């Protein structure tokens, strides 16, 4: 049996809590050329098909479909991914709690609470910012369904004010088996955090997810929104009162989703989302009073992920400051939020190659933001969302982004986000879409147990642990099932991608890769639709008109 043991610490293994801005030096070969001109030059060297406008509405639809392929539990009657079936129906039984449902994080069958919660937070943020655009694409029902599948599970998992079940399954045993989720014989041990075994990161992130989701459902389902907010407030109080790192309490999580950045960013993140959901000043006071203690207004970091939330909370804090010119804020709050915004701008400027101290995010020769070799696309999609969202904040407040190497208007940020989305969709040196199922060429050997094995609905014959490796993992053919909407790990620093199943650094997809793109594709779909209409009318719109 081939050994494919791997862990998610790959995604933050080189992270060191910084005092000064993180040094991620740029490798642009022509650093003095304005970045917009450089992007245009890169596009001129791509095949004509790749330069054509992409169907962002179709990309949005496919992105939301992916989450149905990742479902655990009893699948609903309207399940669209037909090659999946019910799974994990006894989760939590040994511990006397119902933990059926939720999402598998990637190509395996473990339900990890921290990345699942981050996925729901980002899906909710996408809907909060772009609900009209998602609705215009006919996808609002699917977006709400994707969020609710996660929040329904969190409600089950939060069995007591100070108890949260954070994981089902054991990564070690799971990764030594290659089975469909419908055939699982691996451990379904469930793990929890409580007052004696704290886990502030996962409590904080789950609180953030439920608070953000409560905003999403506020109009369409007020009772459910209130229930989510009730759980969110309890979880935040629990995570803050009993502070501690969750991977010290839940040992099996440490080899897969370790908390390298600590819990301070999650607690600030949760407090910000609770403030947005409730309007209560106590949560804003928490964000202000703990700004430096937890690094929110102190750390200038050039990455954003399921573990490292600083850039996201800094952008969210900036939104509060930029709304109505910040005049509704107390002076104490406004001053502190200005410090959050300064660090948010460092992150955005580093993505735009506009910092002057060498702390810019690297780029591949094809123009892709490049942070780390293992599942780099998670950083690209997260950056694309934050650039898109901040572009909108700038436009609404009639402001520009001021970086050490020049200023940019809202259109500059959206241009970079669009270039990253286009790279993902096929405008790249290999001419391949890293969004599975989109376009004529995409990864066909995704590192995913269910997609790479015959559908349970087609053949219910049991697939054993070792049998799956022999019959399905090791085969050279394409996967029998297309994991539509999944965003794989992506190419290396030289834009090279190897579409082989064992190459999990590049071919495994994760829920938190796709979630941020829901908002990005929704925004770009509206922009492209308006642009096409204006071109038909003989008007040449600037990108800022979106």
* Cβ–Cβ < 8 Å for 509, 484: no
In 371-416, where do the E strands start and end? 401-403, 406-408
DSSP conformation class of 280: -
Task: Find residue 91's DSSP bridge partners.
Answer: none
Closest CA to 108 of 508, 544, 448, 479: 448
Are 258 and 305 spatial neighbours (Cβ–Cβ below 8 Å)? Answer: no
User: Any residues with CB less than 8 A from the CB of 53 and at least 6 apart, and which?
Assistant: 528, 532
Cβ proximity of 420 and 368 under 8 Å? yes
Concerning whether 447 is annotated as a catalytic residue, the answer is: yes
Closest by CA to 308, choosing from 62, 24, 108, 28, is 24
- Of these residues, 333, 346, 447, 448, which one is catalytic? 447
The rounded distance, in Å, linking the Cα atoms of 340 and 111 is 33
Strand-pair category, 111-112 with 369-370: unpaired
User: Is the Cβ–Cβ distance between 499 and 443 less than 8 Å?
Assistant: yes
Angle between helices 331-351 and 281-289 (to 10 degrees): 60
Residue 325 falls in which region: left (phi positive, over 0), alpha (psi -120 to 50) or beta: left
The rounded Cα 145 to chain-centroid distance in angstroms is 17
Residue 148, phi then psi, degrees to nearest 5 = -65, -30
Give Rg (Cα) of the chain. Answer: 22
Contacts of residue 509, Cβ cutoff 8 Å, sequence gap at least 6: 66, 106, 107, 436, 446, 447, 448, 483, 486, 487, 488, 489
What is the 8-class DSSP label of residue 87? B
Q: Where are the alpha helices (DSSP H) in 164-291?
A: 171-174, 200-216, 222-241, 246-249, 264-278, 281-289
Chain-centre distance for alpha carbon 95: 30
**Token match 């948010």: residue?**
344
Other CB atoms within 10 Å distance of the CB of residue 508:
23
Q: What are the tokens at 353?
A: 């190659």
Quick one: how many helices (H) and strands (E) in the chain? 19, 7
Cβ atoms of 455 and 482 within 8 Å: the answer is no
CA–CA distance, 120 with 58 (Å, rounded to integer) = 21
- Residues recognised as catalytic: 447
């Amino acid at each position: 049996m081939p050994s494919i043991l791997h862990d998610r610490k790959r995604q933050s293994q080189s992270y060191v809590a910084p005092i000064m801005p993180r040094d991620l030096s740029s490798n642009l070969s022509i650093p003095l050329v304005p970045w917009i001109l450089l992007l245009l030059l890169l596009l001129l060297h791509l095949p004509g098909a790749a330069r054509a406008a992409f169907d962002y509405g179709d990309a949005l639809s496919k992105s939301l479909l992916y989450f149905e392929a990742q479902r655990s539990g009893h699948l609903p009657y309207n399940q669209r991914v037909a090659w999946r079936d019910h799974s994990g129906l006894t989760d939590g039984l040994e511990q006397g709690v119902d933990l059926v449902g939720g999402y598998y994080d990637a190509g395996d069958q473990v339900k990890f609470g921290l990345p699942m919660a981050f996925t729901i937070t980002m899906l909710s943020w996408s809907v909060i910012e772009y609900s009209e655009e998602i609705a215009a694409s006919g996808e609002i029902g699917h977006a709400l369904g994707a969020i609710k599948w996660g929040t329904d599970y969190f409600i089950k998992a939060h069995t007591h004010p100070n108890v949260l079940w954070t994981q089902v399954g054991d990564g070690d045993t799971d990764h030594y088996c290659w089975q469909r989720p419908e055939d699982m014989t691996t451990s379904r041990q469930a793990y929890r955090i409580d007052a004696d075994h704290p886990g502030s990161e996962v409590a904080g992130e789950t609180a953030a997810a439920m608070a953000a989701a409560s905003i999403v459902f506020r109009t369409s389902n007020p009772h459910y929104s209130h229930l989510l907010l009730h759980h969110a407030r309890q979880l935040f109080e629990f995570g803050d009162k009993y502070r501690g790192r969750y991977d010290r309490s839940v040992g099996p999580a440490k080899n897969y989703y370790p908390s390298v950045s600590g819990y301070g960013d999650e607690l600030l993140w949760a407090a910000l989302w609770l403030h947005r959901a409730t309007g209560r000043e106590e949560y804003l006071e928490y964000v202000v009073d703990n700004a430096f203690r937890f690094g929110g207004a102190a750390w200038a970091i050039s990455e954003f992920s399921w573990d490292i939330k600083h850039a996201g909370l800094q952008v969210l804090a900036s939104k509060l400051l930029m709304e109505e010119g910040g005049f509704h804020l107390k002076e104490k709050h406004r001053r502190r939020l200005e410090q959050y915004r300064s660090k948010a701008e460092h992150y955005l400027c580093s993505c735009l190659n506009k910092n002057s101290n060498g702390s810019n995010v690297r780029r591949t020769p094809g123009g892709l933001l490049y942070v780390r070799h293992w599942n780099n696309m998670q950083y690209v999609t997260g950056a694309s969302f934050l650039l898109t969202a901040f572009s909108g904040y700038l436009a609404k407040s009639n402001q520009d982004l001021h970086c050490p190497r020049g200023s940019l208007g809202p259109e500059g940020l959206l241009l970079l986000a669009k270039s990253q989305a286009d790279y993902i969709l096929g405008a790249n040196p290999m001419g391949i879409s890293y969004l599975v199922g989109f376009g004529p060429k995409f990864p066909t050997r995704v590192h995913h147990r269910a997609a790479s094995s015959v559908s349970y609905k087609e053949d219910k014959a049991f697939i054993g642990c070792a049998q799956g490796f022999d019959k399905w993992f090791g085969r050279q053919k394409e996967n029998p099932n297309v994991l539509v909407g999944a965003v794989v790990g992506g190419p290396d620093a030289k834009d090279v991608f190897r579409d082989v199943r064992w190459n999990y650094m590049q071919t495994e997809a994760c829920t938190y890769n796709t979630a941020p793109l829901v908002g990005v594709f929704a925004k770009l779909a509206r922009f492209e639709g308006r642009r096409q209409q204006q071109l038909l009318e003989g008007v040449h719109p600037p990108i800022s008109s979106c």
